[in-house]
Structures are given as C-alpha cells and as structure tokens.
Amino acid sequence: MADRHGSAEQQATVELLTLVEAMTHRDRGRVLAVVAERDQITVGEIAVRLGEPQRKVRYHLGKLIEAGLVRVAGERGRRGAIERWYRATRLPYIHTEQSRRLSPEQMRRIALEVLKLTLADAKAAMEAGGFGIGGDSQARVSMEVDSQGLDELHEIYRRALAEVMEVRSASRERIIASQEEPKRMVAALFLFRQQWPGHSA
C-alpha cells in the first residue's frame, strides 16, 4: 500500500514538473495556452493566433504531445494532406496545493508567463477596439490585510477560479449542443503582494 501511494505521489510530482516546464517555456507555454482555450484547434489556427510560422508551432506541439499535455483530437484528409485537430489533456493551471510543492523561482516564472499572456490578450483587445466594452468587467483593489485577511483572499480567489472553470466547461457543452457562436472572453485573476522601491512587504 505504501509503495503504491509513494508511486502515485511520484507520478503526480513528475506530471506537475512536466506541466511547469511547459508553462515556463516561452514558446511552448504560449502554444499550450492557445490549445487549452479551445475544445479543438488546428496548427494553422494556432499559428494565426500566435503570429508564428506553422513549422514552429508544429514542433512545439510535438513536444507537448510527447509530454502528454496535448493529444490529437481528430483528423481528416484535405487536399492530399492530413489536417489534425489538437486538444489539451492538461490545462495550464497550477492549483494552490500544487503550488506549495514548487520553488519560489518556479512560481515566479509561471506568474510572469501568465502575466505576459494576459497583457498580450488585453493589448490585442484594445487594438481591436473591444477592450472595456460589451459586458467586460474590470477591478483593481489595493489594500492592507492581516494574516487572516490574506488567507480569506486566497480562498476567495480559489473559489472564483473554480467557478470560472465550471462556467467554461458548461458553456463548452452548450455551444457544442446549440451551435451558438461563442463569445471569446479572458478571465484573469491576480492576487499578489504590492511592492515598490523602499517599501517592505
């Protein structure tokens, strides 16, 4: 029993570190994030979304498939070639319990990549004239909290993210069933210590 438990624990650690490695890789992390946005997506669609050559996207997709983070969801013959759709098997998301098993440097690298992706999404929305309209919601609250307040904020964010993921999953099912045109949205949740030169957190 102990051996099986230890083996499961080791496997979970390997899977976590594989995900962390992909998320913190400049190109692979972006490809994984885009694949995870859709139920299925082609190399061409990923390349357009990222503004990268298809050859580069295909290379990183291959690495993500080798790592078990992406799989081929379907394929069809088209103009003498095979067109494939890809689906993420793991979302690029580290939950609180997993984050405790990572080093501060790993968590900083993940946070930086998530921030870069979010800023790129916001920039693209602004350039297209769609940021801040059509039911968008924004909020920024700077505050001072005690230890209990910090724990409460972490719990609020954990619950909010869980609810966002539930909405995402349920919406995907309804879109498939109804063929409704999806509305592309980005939900970004950040909670971090505010620091600036000369300020001690």
Confidence of residue 24 (pLDDT cuts 50, 70, 90): very high
Contacts for 108 with CB less than 8 Å, ≥ 6 apart: none
56 pLDDT above the threshold of 80 = yes
Cβ atoms of residues 99 and 54 within 8 Å = no
> Pick the residue with more confidence: 97 or 105?
105
Phi-psi domain of 194 (left: phi exceeds 0; alpha: psi -120 through 50; beta: other): beta
- Pick the closest to residue 49 from 68, 65, 33 (CA basis): 33
Q: Using CA of residue 111, residue 112, residue 115, residue 120, what is the dihedral sign?
A: negative
pLDDT confidence of residue 1: 45
H helices within the chain, ranges in order?
2-23, 26-37, 43-50, 54-66, 96-99, 104-127, 147-178
Query: What is the rounded distance in angstroms from the CA atom of residue 98 to the CA atom of residue 91?
Result: 13
Instruction: Give this prediction's pTM.
Output: 0.79
Contacts for 114 with CB less than 8 Å, ≥ 6 apart: none
DSSP result, 34-56: HHHHSSSEEHHHHHHHHT--HHH
